[in-house]
Structure 1
Amino acid sequence: MSTSALTPRQKEILEFLRRTVEKRGYPPSLRETASHFGIAGVHAVEKHLAALEQKGFLKKGVGPRAIELTERATARAVPIVGRVAAGRPILAEENRIGTLALDASVVRWKEAFLLKVKGESMNGAGILDGDLVLVKPQPDAESGEIVVALLDGEATVKRLIKKGGAMMLQPENPDFEPLAITRQSPAQIIGRIVGVFRF
């Protein structure tokens, strides 16, 4: 069951529980939750927690803080993008080919997305044709990091190399040539690769 089955208030409470556990290591009390949302009493919070438990997002035990988030509660649906095109929002509906539920501790960036890799230019880095790469959106990267860059209107996954004032996108396969980033052939860094998934 996805979080779309939750009411807006249940989603807010679940997110508050998740953030609090991530920050402190234990969940908020009923009173803390009620206070955070401006709810007059703990009874309404108990009802929301009961609904979250019934829907499989948490398990309640005995005691004021005896709440355990389930795997479902800590998963986040990350959009899978089939392609990145110039001049269009990356996460536009026409670019999406699905979603993948990943643990929220792996995906800590709001706009993170997965890109389906096409081609064999990064085989040497363990990124194969058909893999999904987790992309942390950012406009620049350090030399040596693997990035998604937009070059000539198409997305490419390569290692960014910076030497002096020059930059290039380096493949990890000797059958492919490096791509120089110049004024005549500019590239836009879309984000940095932070994970690879293969199914």
Structure 2
Amino acid sequence: MLKLTARQEQILNLIKEAIDNTGFPPTRAEIAQELGFRSANAAEEHLQALARKGAIEISPGTSRGIRLLGGTPPSAVPAVSAPIPLPAIPPALLMALPLVGRVAAGSPILAQEHVEATYSVDPAMFSAKPDFLLKVRGWSMRDAGICDGDFLAVKKVDSAKNGQIVVARIGEEVTVKRYRQNGPTIELLPENPEFPVITVDPNTDEFVLEGLAVGLLRSWH
């Protein structure tokens, strides 16, 4: 059993709650704000201590590059950086997920013409059982660790909580953004300051929630 300080336990629980609620770990700034630290550097020091004790793994270069270790169930670890196909697992334990590429306007996201390939993956890798993989295009979610060319694991849902990362269709466009609803207005927030917030009025805009991000596969390019 890991020997953690009270503050380290608090931060570890915060990471677990963020993954459970949004599908992704918090940023250093979010940890600092939640726990009242003066700067993100204080959060980074505690994260490094947790990494040294084997409770988490830190991926450099991404603001949400935190992976739970130390006996945490695999289902609580949403982000996986690994080649595809994944290492050998008994076939009976694998599930087949279609990979959706570009989506034509006006047709269902899982229409056969959108499916570029099918991958066999271990469902225990994700925070919830996904229904399909979506090929990410662009860098609007870069600071959430979601990069151009990644495969986002998506669970089909018809509602979302504020802060969750979703796949949404607005008119003819399919986008990956962080969800926030304020009254009747829906905002789709990028995780890259170079991209604008998308504001949706469900009463006038053609808006469909296609699914919730439950994990990430990073293919080797």
User: What TM-score results when the alignment is normalised by the length of structure 1?
Assistant: 0.60
Which whole-Å CA distance do the structure 1 matches of 2:174 and 2:163 have between them?
Answer: 18
Which whole-Å CA distance do the structure 1 matches of 2:212 and 2:123 have between them?
Answer: 18
> What letter is aligned with 1:75?
L
What does residue 102 of structure 1 align with?
Answer: 121
> What letter is aligned with 1:193?
A
Q: Kindly indicate whether the alpha-carbon contact (under 8 Å) linking 1:85 and 1:150 is maintained by their aligned counterparts in 2.
A: no
Deviations 1:66-118 (A, max 9, x none): xxxx6221111210000233432222221000011111334664x70000000
Q: Does 1:195 align with 2:218?
A: no
Which whole-Å CA distance do the structure 2 matches of 1:159 and 1:86 have between them?
Answer: 22
User: What TM-score results when the alignment is normalised by the length of structure 2?
Assistant: 0.54
Q: Does 1:88 align with 2:113?
A: no
Deviations 1:1-57 (A, max 9, x none): xxxxxxxxxxxxxxxxxxxxxxxxxxxxxxxxxxxxxxxxxxxxxxxxxxxxxxxxx
Task: Let me know the Cα RMSD of the aligned residues.
Answer: 1.8
SS in 2 for 1:195: strand
Which consecutive aligned stretches of 4+ in structure 1 deviate over 6 angstroms post-superposition?
A: none
Q: Does 1:180 align with 2:199?
A: yes
SS in 2 for 1:105: helix
Q: 1:142 to 1:85 in 2, by over 3 A?
A: farther
> What letter is aligned with 2:186?
M
Matches for 1:23-42 after TM superposition, within 5 Å: none
What does residue 78 of structure 2 align with?
Answer: none
Identify which of structures 1 and 2 has the higher relative contact order when contacts are C-alpha pairs closer than 8 Å and 6+ apart: 2
Deviations 1:117-156 (A, max 9, x none): 0000000110000000000001111111000000121210
What does residue 141 of structure 2 align with?
Answer: 122
- Count of aligned pairs: 129
Matches for 1:156-171 after TM superposition, within 5 Å: 156-171=175-190
Larger Rg: 1
Which whole-Å CA distance do the structure 1 matches of 2:164 and 2:98 have between them?
Answer: 22
What does residue 91 of structure 2 align with?
Answer: 72
Percent sequence identity over aligned pairs? 43
Among 121, 132, 135, the alignment partner of 1:113 is: 132
SS in 2 for 1:197: strand
